[in-house]
Amino acid sequence: MDHGMRAPVVPARRSLLPPLLVSVVLLAAAMVAGLLTGAADMPVRGVLLALLDGLPFVSVDSGLAPVERSLLLELRLPRVLTAVAVGGLLAVAGAGYQGVFRNPLADPYLLGAAAGAGLAVTLAVVFLPGEAGVAAIPAAAFAGAVGGVLLAYALGRSAGRGGTATLVLAGVAVMSFLTAVQTFVQQLKVEELQRVYAWILGDLGGSWERLGMIAPYAAVAAVALLLHGRLLDVLSVGDEEAAGLGVHVGRVRLVVLFAASLATAAAVAVSGLIGFVGVVVPHVVRRLAGGSYRMVLPLSLLGGAAFLVAADLVARTVLAPAELPIGVVTAFVGAPFFVAILRATRPVGT
């Protein structure tokens, strides 16, 4: 099983429509379950009609009480949509990183992108006053994500080509260092510790304002990554071969790297640090639908969204009425999964 140490053959073309339809159905089912789950029971018909009533130029009677309608549209719906956005962005970013570095272990969390974004956002929240800190979160997260990835990549390159795990080890080192710096900053501002700590563990308690804040960045990043699926397939045959086919290798890598970092930054800015989504979901997609990035990228976007909505359901119900941090849930799923992937790729390493 070769994960980037030898030049692979360009993946065969498959029809995208069937797996795409299945992914959309799974995502829709997860979203409906997310909207129906909570302390207050709501009828399925009433929920669906209330959503329909919220569309432009549509007016129907949902039958929900005003309190139920407010709970649905102001709390549950933004939370579910936040999970959709964050899960999709982290998964498609992970697939993009894996395509750039030709490494199945590449992930926003493990490459230092999430830790870099987390440190930058912490600095913005702690040291910038009031609204200025909130307004600076998207730009700070993006700068931190790009800086973290570039630092990990440079460290991995300086260590030589020791195997598929070299980049990940560099990313873990960078992540540990940036996390240590972040902890130091928190200790300087103890009064902000509780807010930052809750954010580190992941928080999907979304709002329409927070979704609107990241929407432009998320849209640009997702579109840029999806448009590069075919080019990443060509890139997978090797840099020299891709250049011979007319692909500007350096430009493709740079665009995908920055788009994946922007996606990571948008997710981190709105939800905090949520690990393993970017490595678990693309790997499952490859196992089920093949290795072509023309399929991996859009299916990871949808699959990551469905995965995080489902994880949020677990977080909300397993200790009800208390709530488990979403980052804990994804770690419970992702850590064993990551070990399995690492064992599978070990023969190609050192």
Confidence of residue 347 (pLDDT cuts 50, 70, 90): very low
Each residue's pLDDT tens digit, 170-183: 888 998 899 899 88
Confidence of residue 15 (pLDDT cuts 50, 70, 90): confident
> In 3D, which of 8, 5, 1 has the Cα closest to residue 232?
8
Each residue's pLDDT tens digit, 257-305: 889 988 988 888 888 778 889 999 999 999 998 889 999 999 999 999 9
Residue 5 pLDDT > 50, yes or no? no
What is the DSSP annotation of 159-220?
Answer: T----TTHHHHHHHHHHHHHHHHHHHHHHHTGGGHHHHHHHHT------HHHHHHHHHHHHH
Residue 147 pLDDT > 70, yes or no? yes
**Are 16 and 229 contacting, i.e. CB atoms less than 8 angstroms apart?**
no
Confidence of residue 127 (pLDDT cuts 50, 70, 90): confident
Q: What is the mean pLDDT of residues 314-342?
A: 84
State pTM to two decimals.
Answer: 0.84
Residue 78 pLDDT > 70, yes or no? yes
The distance from CA 157 to its chain's CA centroid, rounded to whole angstroms, is 25
Q: Is 7 helix (H, G, I), strand (E, B) or coil?
A: coil
How confident is the prediction for the chain on average, in pLDDT?
84
Neighbours of 48 (CB within 10 A): 15
Domains of the chain with bracketed CATH: 17-35+43-348 (1.10.3470.10)
**Are 89 and 266 contacting, i.e. CB atoms less than 8 angstroms apart?**
yes
The confidence score (pLDDT) of residue 170 equals 85
